[in-house]
C-alpha cells in the first residue's frame, strides 16, 4: 500500500497526462498494462496509483520508488521507451516530475 508520509525513504513521482476524452480509456488501459506487466516488476518500485478527472481530460499517476535512480533506469529501458512512444500517441502531453513530501494532512 502506498504510504504518503514526510520523511519516508522513497522517491515520489507524479506524472500528469493531458488527454482527449476519446483516448482517455485507451491510455488508462496502456498505463495499466505497463504497470501490471513491466513497471511494477522493476527494481526499486514501491507502489503506484492512477487517477482520472471527471471530464476524462487529465490522468494523474502517483508512484513511489526506493531511489530516483531506480525510476530513471526504468524510464531509460528499451521496454519503457517503446511503451512511452505508444503513450505519446494517446496523450496530448505528459510529464513525470519528482517530488519530496513536505507535509501530510490526515
Segment 7-58, tens digit of pLDDT = 888 899 999 999 999 999 999 999 999 999 999 999 999 999 999 999 999 9
* pLDDT tier for residue 90 given thresholds of 50, 70 and 90: very high
Domain 11-99's class? alpha beta
> What is the edge-to-edge ordering of all strands in the sheet holding 58-65?
45-52, 58-65, 11-18, 93-99
The model scores a pTM over 0.95: no
Q: What is the mean pLDDT of the chain?
A: 94
- Distances in whole angstroms, Cα of residue 91 to Cα of each of 15, 68, 97: 12, 24, 17
What residue has cell string 507502489? 47
* pLDDT tier for residue 2 given thresholds of 50, 70 and 90: low
Beta bridge partners of 49: 62
Amino acid at each position: 500500500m502506498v504510504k504518503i508520509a514526510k520523511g519516508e525513504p522513497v522517491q515520489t513521482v507524479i506524472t500528469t497526462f493531458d488527454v482527449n476524452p476519446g483516448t482517455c480509456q485507451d491510455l488508462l488501459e496502456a498505463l495499466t498494462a505497463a504497470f501490471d506487466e513491466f513497471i511494477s516488476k522493476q527494481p526499486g518500485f514501491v507502489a503506484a496509483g492512477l487517477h482520472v478527472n471527471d471530464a476524462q481530460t487529465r490522468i494523474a499517476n502517483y508512484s513511489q520508488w526506493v531511489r530516483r535512480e531506480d525510476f530513471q533506469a526504468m524510464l531509460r529501458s528499451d521496454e519503457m521507451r517503446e511503451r512511452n512512444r505508444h503513450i505519446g500517441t494517446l496523450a496530448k502531453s505528459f510529464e513525470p516530475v519528482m517530488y519530496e513530501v513536505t507535509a501530510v494532512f490526515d
